[in-house]
Amino acid sequence: MWQRIADGGLTDLDSQDAAHLHAWIRGVASRILSADDGSDAGQRPGRVLAAVGLSGKPDGYAALREVVNDVVWEFPVITADGELDETRAQLVRQMVEIARQRGLLKGVYAVDDKQATDLIRKILRKQI
C-alpha cells in the first residue's frame, strides 16, 4: 500500500477501494498511536516501524493476504429463500479476480485459474 501511495496510484479509487484505503489508514494510525504509547523510549523506533508494516522480513503475499482476509467475505449474500447465494468456491474465484484487477497475481498466477485458486486457498488455510 505504501508503494501504491508513493506511485500516485490512488487517484482512480472506486468506492470499494476508497473504503479499503480508509480502513487501512485507520488501522495504521491506531497501531502508530499504540506503538508511541509505550513506556520504553528505546524500543519506540522499532515499535513504530512495526506499526506501519516496515519492520522485519517483507511479506511477498501481504497485499494478497489483505484481499483474502478482507471482512467482506464473512458476509455472504443470502437469497430471499434464506439460502447462501454464493458458494465458498465462488467467493474464492471472486478473490482471484479482485487480486488480478489490483495486479497482485503475477507470473503463472496471473493467467492460470487453477494455480491462482490454489494459491488463494493456501492463504485461506494459512499454509503460506
- In tens digits, the chain (128 residues) has pLDDT values of 777 777 777 777 777 777 778 888 888 899 899 888 866 778 888 888 888 888 888 888 988 998 999 888 888 778 788 887 788 889 999 999 999 998 899 999 999 999 999 999 999 998 88
Chain position carrying cell 437469497: 79
- Asked if 24 contacts 1 with a C-beta cutoff of 8 angstroms, the reply is yes
Query: Where does residue 106 fall: left (phi above 0), alpha (psi -120 to 50 degrees), or beta otherwise?
Result: beta
pTM over 0.75: no
Q: How many domains is the chain built from?
A: 1
The three state secondary structure string of the chain is: CHHHHHCCCCCCCCHHHHHHHHHHHHHHHHHHHHHHCCCCHHHHHHHHHHHCCCCCCCCCCHHHHHHHCCHHHHCCCECCCCCECCCHHHHHHHHHHHHHHCCCCCCHHHHCHHHHHHHHHHHHCCCC
Domain that holds residue 64: 1-126
